[in-house]
Amino acid sequence: MDIKIAPSILSADFCNLERDLDRIANADLVHVDVMDHHFVPNLTIGEPVVKRICEVTKLPVDVHLMIDDPDRWAPGYAERGAHSVTFHMGATHAPVRLARQLHDMGCEAWFAVRPAEPVEPIFDILEEFDTILIMTVEPGFGGQKFLANQMGKVRRLRDEITRRGLATNIQVDGGVGVKTAPIVAEAGANILVAGSAVYGADDPAKAIDEIRDAARAAYRD
């Protein structure tokens, strides 16, 4: 698996989203955080904005739902052009049914684990998901400090994926930059979400390349 970088537009300028999408054209995905002020204490964007993002960028759009009741809302994002939809362990009522529904719609299904949640309960349904997201901050706000204590989860998950010969990706989200990218890549993550480290840089495209190179040098297959 190659390393993929998914800049989070949570750190972009929401008044100039199309411009800021153009600034990350060398990324592999664009990460879009959808928050409802219920599942997390923040409110961002919804389906109409995601639809326009999908229309104006050539990058695959990775929609991260930090919302209540994704069983109801996730298919709408697939309909609007999302490449992948991520939903949380603590929010869904029927994760397997939802994953299969998204796959039937031609959309990848990704499953997210918050810092206080164990990863092992996912092992029995791992084959249903294309990617598992390990949160390395508490979800809700950008710019938080990276939680290195989540690397044990990444390692255990990578070991399980390897043991079973699966092609499942591992994504990490939170506090990822040039310094932390080697840590998560060495643990076994291959999709890295980076927000402030990209959009806080003078040259976002250069920051993406530097994060990717740092991760590739340390990646544990």
Q: Any idea which residues carry the catalytic annotation?
A: 33, 173
Annotated binding-site residue? 33: yes
> Could you tell me which residues come within 8 angstroms of residue 180 by beta carbon, excluding any fewer than 6 positions away?
136, 146, 148
Annotated binding-site residue? 140: yes
Annotated binding-site residue? 88: no
d(CA 10, CA 64): 11
Residue 192, H or E segment: strand 191-194
Annotated binding-site residue? 11: no
Annotated binding-site residue? 64: yes
Pair 90, 97: CB distance under 8 Å: no
Annotated binding-site residue? 84: no
Annotated binding-site residue? 195: yes
Q: Radius of gyration over alpha carbons of the chain, in Å?
A: 16
Annotated binding-site residue? 174: yes
Annotated binding-site residue? 38: no
Annotated binding-site residue? 200: no
Q: How many CA atoms lie within 13 A of 113 on its CB side?
A: 24
Quick one: 34 exposed, middle or buried, by C-beta within 10 A (0-12, 13-18, 19+)? buried
- Name the binding residues for substrate: 8, 64, 140-143, 173-175, 195-196
- Name the binding residues for a divalent metal cation: 31, 33, 64, 173
- Name the binding residues: 8, 31, 33, 64, 140-143, 173-175, 195-196
